[in-house]
Structure formats: structure tokens, C-alpha cells
């Protein structure tokens, strides 16, 4: 065999710094992964169901935000021409696109404002629940020991109540109002996220990069902020999305029972409750809010599922 050329790796010298960057850069380019945005768009293109649900969520949000601009009439106003000659609600027609309710109020406008209420309650309640859940679960998981035990027992107690009954009980204490509905849902829903966050934090705590950070001498609050929290974000997003769906449903249930959003403010739950009584004579009173509720909750749930699939692989992050 011929002798290896001078300066080659076979004679044991370290490759010149110039060689390494070339090899490394070429390899670095090969590992380029598409960003989150691009992956999201690709996956939406492939999955029509997910695409429709995400669009529905977006549309709903827009409707809720721009309610005053979109609603053709004032939802709280009882229009004199809203009722027929013998005082019955008017069927859908040119003036009241979805008809009127027994008080002469425009159903469409109430539906649109109802969307606003639903979304408002959903988002606020879920955000509050997320904050409480992350705090409780994070502290329990990270601190461990007796703190963990105490916090988890409290969580278990709340979890043992079916959430709707829990909310009904709390509302009975606080009295019905939109604000109380939000608070009450938050106090019922935080437990689910607390459980999940605790589990995540427990396993994150043992990951080698967290141990490496402790070895570096990084303090606990910095570790929680820099290393633990970013890894919780995907789970938080997913559960918040599903949480909005649940919150909307609970709010609708409470309003249906008459202990949620008080009249005369419009809420899909109340509208359903009212529509039930008039189902024979004025079916549009039940169908409109019913369909709205189903579509909304379904859209949020499916969008949440899609988000899970999208964000979950990113949680681990490692490529082998």
C-alpha cells in the first residue's frame, strides 16, 4: 500500500480548522428542519377536517370580536315589529334573518352576541385555569415531597367532583353573573392542567439538560423559567384549546339552567332553554343556538386534536 500523504488524517494530525467548517456546514445544512409555521400549513393542507375546524375557530373569533359591526340589530332590544299580531315570535324572514324570540328580539343578533359571550367566557376562564394549573402543577412537580403531596391532595379533592356540579355549587354561592361564570369555570377546570403539568415537570426534572443546568450552578427560578416552562408550552396550548370547548359547554349548561349569564344578555345556553319550550311553534329558536353550540365545540375540539399532533413531536425535540 502506498504511504498516506503528508498531513492527512492517517498521520494523526488534527484537521485544519478550515476543513472542519466545510464539513460541518455541509452537514448543518442537511439537518435543516422546516419551521413550525411551514409544518402547520403542510399538515392543514393534508387534513381537510383539521383545516375546516381551524377556519371555523378563526371565523368564530372574528365574529365574536366584530359582533357590534356584524349584528344587524340590537340584541337586547325588543322590537315592536318583532312579534306577530297575536304576540308570537316571527319566523326567519327578510328583516330578521333568523327570526325573533318571544320577546321580539332578533335571534341572529343574539346569536352573534352570544358568540361573543361564549368566546369571552371560554378564553378568560381557560386562561385563568391555565395560570392556576401551571402554578399548582409546576410547584408540586418541581418541589416534590410534602408540598407535592398537599397540592395533589387538594387537586384530587376538586377533581373528584364532576365539573358541572362543582360549578353549579359554586355559582349557587356566588350568584349568577358573567364574571362569576368565568371564575367558577376556572376553579373547576384548573385541576386537569395541574395534573398534566405536574407529570411533565416530574419527568423534565430528570432530563439530563436540567441536571446539567443545576450542575452549572443555575438557580431554581432560572431553571423553571428557561428550561422547564418552554417545554410546557405545547401542552398548555393544547389543553387551553380543549379547555375553551369545555368552558363554552359549561357556560351554556349553566345558562341553560338559568344560573349562568343573566338575562337580558344573550347566551346560547339561555336561548336553547327558551327554544326548548317553543320547539313546536318556533323551531328556529332552538335550532339556531343549538347548531351554533355544536359547531363551535366540535371545531375547538378538532382544532385541539390537530394542535396536539402538530406540537407533540416538538416537545421532545431531539433528533436521532
Partner 1 sequence: MTDPAHVQSIATEQTAAAPPVVDVRDLRVHFKVHRGLLGSQLVKAVDGVSFAIAAGETLGLAGESGSGKSTVARTLVRINRPTDGSVLLAGAETARLSGQDLRAYRRRMQMVYQDPYDSLDPKMTIKDAIGEGLSVRGVPRARRKSEVEELLARVNLPVALAGRYPGQLSGGQRQRVSIARALAVSPEVIICDEAVAALDVSIRAQVLNLLKDIQADAGVSYLFISHDLSTLRFMADRIAIMYVGRLVEYGAAEQVFSQPAHPYTQALMAAVPDIANLGGPRPAPLPGEPPNPASPPPGCAFHPRCPLAVDLCRTVAPPLVRKATGQLAACHVVPDAPEVTP
Partner 2 sequence: MDLVADVITVEHLTVAFPAREGTGEVVRDVSLAIGAGERVGLVGESGSGKSLTARAIMRLIPQPGRVTDGTVCFDGAELGAKSAPTKWRGTKIAMITQDPLSSLNPLVKIGTQITEMLRYHRGLRRAEATAKAEELLRSVGIPDPRRTMTRYPAVLSGGMRQRVALAIAISCEPRLLIADEPTTALDVTVQAQVLTLLERMTAEHGSAVLLISHDLGVVGNFCDRLLVMYAGRIVESGPTAAVISDPAHPYTRALIASIPSLRGELPDRLASIPGSPPHGGAQAAGCAFAPRCPMAREVCRQTDPALLKISDLRTGPGDSHQAACHALGDENWNQAA
Q: Which residues bind partner 1 (CB under 8 A)?
A: 14, 17, 20-21, 24-25, 27-28, 31-33, 207-219, 226-227, 230-231, 316-320
Least Å from the CB of residue 42 to partner 2: 11
Least Å from the CB of residue 20 to partner 1: 5
Residue 29: how many other CB atoms lie within 10 Å:
8
Least Å from the CB of residue 149 to partner 1: 16
Least Å from the CB of residue 319 to partner 1: 4
Q: Which does 146 bind (CB under 5 to 8 A by kind): partner 1, partner 2, none?
A: none
Count of residues binding partner 2 (CB under 8 A)?
21
Report if residue 174 touches partner 2, rule: CB under 8 A: no
Q: Which does 173 bind (CB under 5 to 8 A by kind): partner 2, partner 1, none?
A: none
Residue nearer to partner 1 on the CB measure, 3 or 27: 27
Residue 239 near residue 192 (C-beta atoms within 8 A): yes
Cell numbers standing for residue 94: 327578510
Residue nearer to partner 2 on the CB measure, 15 or 93: 15
Least Å from the CB of residue 28 to partner 2: 10
Report if residue 30 touches partner 2, rule: CB under 8 A: yes
DSSP string, the chain: -PPPPTTSGGGTPPPPTTHHHHHHHHHHHHTPPPPHHHHHHHHHHH-HHHHHHHHHHHHHHHHHHTHHHH-SS-TT---GGGB-TTSPBPPS-SSSTT-B-TTS-BHHHHHHHHHHHHHHHHHHHHHHHHHHHHHHHHHHHHH-HHHHHHHHHHHHHHHHS-HHHHHHHHHHHH-S-HHHHHHHHHHHHHHHHHHHHHHHHHHHHTSHHHHHHHHHT--HHHHIIIIIHHHHHHHHHHHHHHHHHHHHHHHHHHHHHTSSSPTTS--HHHHHHHHHHTTTT-THHHHHHHHHHHHHHHHHHHHHHHHHHHHHHHHH----
Report if residue 33 touches partner 2, rule: CB under 8 A: no
Report if residue 15 touches partner 2, rule: CB under 8 A: yes
Residue nearer to partner 1 on the CB measure, 86 or 208: 208
Report if residue 27 touches partner 2, rule: CB under 8 A: yes
Helix axis angle for 107-143 and 268-277, nearest 10°, is: 130
Residue nearer to partner 1 on the CB measure, 153 or 320: 320
Least Å from the CB of residue 147 to partner 1: 19
Residue nearer to partner 2 on the CB measure, 19 or 156: 19
Least Å from the CB of residue 2 to partner 2: 6
Residue nearer to partner 1 on the CB measure, 115 or 213: 213
Residues that bind partner 2 (CB under 8 A): 1-5, 7-15, 19-20, 23-24, 26-27, 30
Amino acid at each position: 500500500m502506498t504511504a498516506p500523504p503528508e498531513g492527512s488524517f492517517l498521520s494523526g494530525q488534527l484537521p485544519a480548522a478550515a476543513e472542519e467548517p466545510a464539513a460541518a456546514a455541509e452537514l448543518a445544512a442537511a439537518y435543516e428542519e422546516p419551521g413550525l409555521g411551514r409544518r402547520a400549513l403542510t399538515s392543514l393542507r393534508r387534513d381537510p377536517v383539521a383545516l375546516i375546524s381551524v377556519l371555523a375557530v378563526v371565523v368564530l373569533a372574528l365574529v365574536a370580536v366584530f359582533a357590534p359591526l356584524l349584528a344587524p340589530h340590537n340584541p337586547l332590544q325588543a322590537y315592536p315589529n318583532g312579534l306577530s299580531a297575536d304576540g308570537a315570535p316571527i319566523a326567519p324572514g327578510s328583516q330578521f334573518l333568523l327570526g325573533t324570540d318571544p320577546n321580539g328580539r332578533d335571534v341572529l343578533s343574539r346569536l352573534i352576541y352570544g358568540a361573543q359571550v361564549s368566546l369571552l367566557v371560554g378564553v378568560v376562564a381557560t386562561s385563568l385555569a391555565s395560570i392556576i394549573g401551571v402554578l399548582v402543577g409546576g410547584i408540586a412537580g418541581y418541589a416534590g415531597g410534602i408540598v407535592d403531596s398537599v397540592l395533589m391532595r387538594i387537586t384530587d379533592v376538586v377533581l373528584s367532583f364532576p365539573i358541572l356540579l362543582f360549578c353549579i355549587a359554586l355559582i349557587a354561592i356566588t350568584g349568577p353573573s358573567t364574571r362569576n361564570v368565568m371564575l367558577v369555570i376556572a376553579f373547576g377546570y384548573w385541576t386537569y392542567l395541574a395534573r398534566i403539568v405536574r407529570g411533565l415537570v416530574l419527568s423534565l426534572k430528570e432530563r439530563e439538560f436540567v441536571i446539567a443546568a443545576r450542575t452549572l450552578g443555575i438557580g431554581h427560578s432560572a431553571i423553571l423559567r428557561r428550561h422547564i416552562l418552554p417545554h410546557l408550552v405545547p401542552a398548555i396550548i393544547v389543553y387551553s384549546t380543549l379547555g375553551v370547548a369545555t368552558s363554552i359547554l359549561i357556560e351554556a349548561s349553566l345558562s341553560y339552567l338559568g344560573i349562568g349569564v343573566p338575562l337580558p344578555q344573550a347566551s346560547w345556553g339561555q336561548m336553547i332553554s327558551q327554544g326548548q319550550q317553543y320547539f313546536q311553534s318556533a323551531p328556529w329558536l332552538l335550532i339556531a343556538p343549538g347548531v351554533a353550540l355544536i359547531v363551535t365545540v366540535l371545531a375547538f375540539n378538532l382544532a385541539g386534536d390537530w394542535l396536539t399532533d402538530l406540537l407533540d413531536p416538538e416537545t421532545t425535540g431531539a433528533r436521532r
